């Protein structure tokens, strides 16, 4: 809010930001997209254009006496737009033109319950009047939808002004249906282990209520987290559908700003790895969110969402599915040296080590500060990419298919990430299948549909959960060469390499594309492919 001129919405502080359009261009060249915050409270200030135009258009709420209701928020005396009135929603949406022209790309609706500092309740009086789409009422009838209607007004206004782009809107307040207009975050949390833990069931409950694009302030909004707390929160937060750190600034004597780099070299390295993992998982995340748009099934969901009959997981608040194929049990207790959890039924593999885990019972695994307990379902095919510093740094060229021993299927979806072109088939979807038998594992590129410009240019294959190296790897009728060292493998256009330490096989081939079949053979039937349990499991 400090970017504004005296907390006047839709303005810039001319001293601090004399040329905001130039600043936006410079930031965009560096890879940044700027999101600005806006509140519904409009400063009561004759001569301020938003206030004057709002008065002229009868866009502000009235009190029970028929006079404009005057509250108090950041700018002092404020009036509140009546977002339950269609004409007001259209007017408010039109106000975003100036910020869009300056180069702002997203909008963050805050304080939109609406907040009002005039009363102990911190919100407007229930007697405040609303149009309510032509059926006048007091605030009691519309309090829950006020924030959602602000988000709706923002979304529809930006969509009208930039019809070729999907709006990005973030809101604090909302109601059933807000998922059509905005992402939602959980509000001003505290930098505490309790609030880290609390964030998980809060987001899971929102997910199963239909609101899927959600997150909490990583690190806590108020307070100074310890290095361990910040690291653990970041390792958890990379699985929030909306992943972002946010803070009001340091509250302690040192005033620590919650940057991942300020907690010492050890934590900086671990924090960097967590952030890189989020970027690597983006193809999987985007594919799963496409499924959310189609079916409503959330990306982040409680175990009982997929396993409703498994009563022992009904009260496990700190474990969750991340899409269809990943199970995550983040470390959320201070000083933890082990993590106890109940994995879903079936076979699972540690995403990083390839160790096998049988679900259905309580399990304990050792953890250290670097640990992110994440497990892939047997037979899962999870698309990932190389780590980048920001989403636009480099286009997706090589897609890695992480295949976990077993039988199953996987999908990759991609589009331009910005426009509505996907509705006209400006997108691509690929499907893969893996089949396991006693002596063979077969990966098939089942097919590709859509626009090939959004398809990967090459593929890398990682097969995890193998207890020993295969005897033969082929693609079609071509036998691939084994390479013993990482350096030799990287140089090869078609080869394979087994890494015993991670129980994984890497395959490279320029021939992998629609219709291709990779066969990984382990000799005569009876030779173990993966059944030998991993040590410690």
Domain end: 185, 217, 251, which one? 185
Q: What single string gives the DSSP state of each residue in 377-403? A: ETT-EEEE----SSTTSS---EEEEEE
Among 203, 199, 163, 200, which residue's Cα sits nearest to residue 183?
A: 203
Q: For position 373, what pLDDT does the model report?
A: 98
Q: Is the pLDDT of residue 259 over 50?
A: yes
Q: Are residues 311 and 460 in the same domain?
A: no
Number of helices (H), then strands (E), belonging to the chain: the values are 11, 30
The predicted-structure confidence for 423-447, as pLDDT tens digits, reads as follows: 999 999 999 999 999 899 999 999 9
Count Cβ atoms below 10 Å from residue 486 Cβ, excluding itself. 11
Instruction: Give the domain range for residue 91.
Output: 1-185
What distance in Å separates the CA atoms of residue 372 and residue 336, rounded to the nearest whole number?
Answer: 12
Mean pLDDT of the 381-397 span: 93
- What is the tally of structural domains in the chain? 3
**pLDDT level of residue 1 (50, 70, 90 thresholds):** very high
Q: Are residues 328 and 392 in the same domain?
A: no
Q: Is the pLDDT of residue 200 over 50?
A: yes
Would you say residue 72 lies in a domain?
yes
Q: For position 537, what pLDDT does the model report?
A: 33
Q: Are residues 338 and 396 in the same domain?
A: no
The predicted-structure confidence for 441-498, as pLDDT tens digits, reads as follows: 999 999 999 999 999 999 999 999 998 999 999 999 999 999 999 999 989 889 999 9
Domain end: 185, 219, 238, which one? 185
Q: For position 438, what pLDDT does the model report?
A: 86
**pLDDT level of residue 527 (50, 70, 90 thresholds):** very low
Q: For position 523, what pLDDT does the model report?
A: 78
Mean pLDDT of the 6-34 span: 97
Q: Are residues 55 and 92 in the same domain?
A: yes
What distance in Å separates the CA atoms of residue 469 and residue 447, rounded to the nearest whole number?
Answer: 28
Poorest-confidence range of 48-62, 121-135, 352-366, 515-529? 515-529
Would you say residue 191 lies in a domain?
no
Would you say residue 372 lies in a domain?
yes
- Catalytic, out of 113, 224, 297, 350: 113
Q: Is the pLDDT of residue 157 over 50?
A: yes
Q: Are residues 56 and 92 in the same domain?
A: yes
Burial 400-415 (b: 16+ CB within 10 A, else e): bbbbbbbebbbbbbbb
Q: For position 533, what pLDDT does the model report?
A: 32
Q: Are residues 391 and 405 in the same domain?
A: yes
Mean pLDDT of the 312-337 span: 96
Would you say residue 21 lies in a domain?
yes
**pLDDT level of residue 275 (50, 70, 90 thresholds):** very high
- Catalytic, out of 188, 340, 449, 488: 188
Q: Are residues 110 and 126 in the same domain?
A: yes
**CATH at residue 63:** 3.20.20.80
Would you say residue 267 lies in a domain?
no
Q: For position 250, what pLDDT does the model report?
A: 61
Element (H, E) at 366: strand 362-366
Q: Is the pLDDT of residue 317 over 80?
A: yes
**pLDDT level of residue 54 (50, 70, 90 thresholds):** very high
**pLDDT level of residue 249 (50, 70, 90 thresholds):** confident
Count Cβ atoms below 10 Å from residue 437 Cβ, excluding itself. 12
301 contacts 208 by C-beta, under 8 angstroms: yes
The predicted-structure confidence for 286-310, as pLDDT tens digits, reads as follows: 999 999 999 999 999 999 999 999 9
Would you say residue 82 lies in a domain?
yes
Would you say residue 201 lies in a domain?
no
CA angle, 337 as apex, 314 and 530 as ends, to 5°? 70
**pLDDT level of residue 392 (50, 70, 90 thresholds):** confident
Q: For position 524, what pLDDT does the model report?
A: 53
Q: Is the pLDDT of residue 514 over 90?
A: yes
5 contacts 20 by C-beta, under 8 angstroms: no
Q: For position 257, what pLDDT does the model report?
A: 76
Mean pLDDT of the 305-331 span: 95
Arithmetic mean of pLDDT over the chain: 94
Would you say residue 193 lies in a domain?
no
- Catalytic, out of 110, 131, 224, 319: 110
**CATH at residue 338:** 2.60.40.1180
Q: Are residues 427 and 313 in the same domain?
A: no
Active site residue 113: yes
CA angle, 124 as apex, 213 and 146 as ends, to 5°? 35
Q: Are residues 317 and 346 in the same domain?
A: yes
Q: For position 251, what pLDDT does the model report?
A: 56
What distance in Å separates the CA atoms of residue 226 and residue 357, rounded to the nearest whole number?
Answer: 32
Q: Are residues 360 and 455 in the same domain?
A: no
The predicted-structure confidence for 90-131, as pLDDT tens digits, reads as follows: 999 999 999 999 999 999 999 999 999 999 999 999 999 999
Q: For position 304, what pLDDT does the model report?
A: 96
Q: Are residues 485 and 504 in the same domain?
A: yes
Q: Are residues 169 and 310 in the same domain?
A: no
Domain end: 347, 362, 377, which one? 377
Active site residue 488: no
């Amino acid at each position: 809010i400090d970017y504004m001129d005296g907390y006047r919405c839709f303005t810039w502080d001319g001293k601090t930001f004399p040329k905001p359009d130039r600043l936006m261009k410079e930031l965009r060249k560096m890879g940044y997209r700027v999101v600005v915050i806006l509140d519904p409270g409009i400063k009561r200030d004759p001569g301020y254009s938003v206030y004057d135009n709002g008065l002229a258009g009868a866009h502000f709420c009235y009190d029970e006496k028929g006079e404009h209701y005057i509250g108090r928020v950041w700018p002092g005396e404020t009036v509140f737009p009546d977002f339950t009135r269609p004409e007001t929603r259209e007017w408010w949406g039109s106000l975003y033109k100036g910020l869009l022209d300056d180069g702002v790309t997203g909008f963050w609706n805050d304080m939109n319950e609406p907040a009002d500092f005039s009363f102990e309740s911190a919100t407007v009086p229930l007697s405040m009047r609303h149009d309510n789409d032509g059926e006048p009422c007091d605030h009691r009838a519309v309090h829950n939808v006020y924030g959602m209607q602000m988000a709706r007004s923002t979304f529809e206004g930006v969509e009208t002004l930039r019809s070729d782009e999907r709006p990005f809107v973030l809101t604090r307040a909302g109601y059933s249906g807000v998922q059509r207009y905005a992402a939602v975050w959980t509000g001003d949390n505290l930098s505490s282990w309790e609030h880290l833990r609390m964030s998980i069931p809060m987001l899971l409950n929102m997910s199963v209520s239909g609101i899927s694009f959600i997150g909490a302030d990583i690190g806590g909004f108020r307070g100074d987290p310890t290095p361990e707390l910040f690291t653990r929160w970041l390792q958890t937060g990379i699985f929030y559908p909306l992943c972002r750190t946010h803070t009001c600034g340091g509250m302690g004597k040192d005033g620590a700003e919650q940057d991942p780099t300020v907690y010492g070299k050890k934590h900086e390295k671990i924090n960097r790895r967590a952030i890189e993992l989020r970027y690597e998982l983006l193809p999987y995340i985007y594919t799963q969110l496409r499924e959310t748009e189609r079916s409503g099934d959330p990306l982040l969901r409680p175990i009982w969402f997929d396993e409703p009959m498994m009563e022992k997981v009904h009260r496990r608040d700190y474990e969750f599915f991340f899409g269809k194929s990943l199970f995550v049990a983040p470390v959320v207790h201070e000083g933890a040296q082990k993590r106890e959890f109940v994995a879903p039924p079936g076979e699972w593999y540690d995403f990083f080590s390839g160790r096998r885990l049988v679900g259905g019972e309580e399990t304990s695994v050792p953890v250290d500060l670097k640990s992110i307990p994440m497990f892939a379902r047997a037979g899962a095919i999870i698309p990932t990419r190389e780590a980048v510093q920001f989403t636009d740094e480099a286009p997706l060229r090589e897609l890695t298919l992480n295949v976990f021993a077993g039988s199953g299927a996987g999908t990759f979806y991609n589009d331009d990430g910005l426009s509505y072109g996907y509705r006209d088939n400006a997108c691509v979807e690929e499907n893969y299948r893996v089949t396991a038998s006693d002596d063979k594992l077969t990966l098939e590129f089942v097919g590709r549909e859509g626009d090939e410009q959004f398809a990967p240019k090459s593929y890398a294959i990682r097969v995890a959960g193998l207890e020993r190296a295969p005897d033969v790897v082929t693609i079609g009728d071509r036998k691939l060469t084994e390479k013993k060292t990482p350096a030799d493998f990287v140089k090869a256009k078609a080869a394979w390499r087994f890494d015993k330490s991670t129980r994984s096989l890497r395959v490279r081939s320029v021939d992998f594309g629609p219709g291709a079949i990779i066969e990984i053979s382990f000799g005569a039937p009876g030779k173990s492919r993966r059944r030998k349990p991993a040590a410690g499991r």
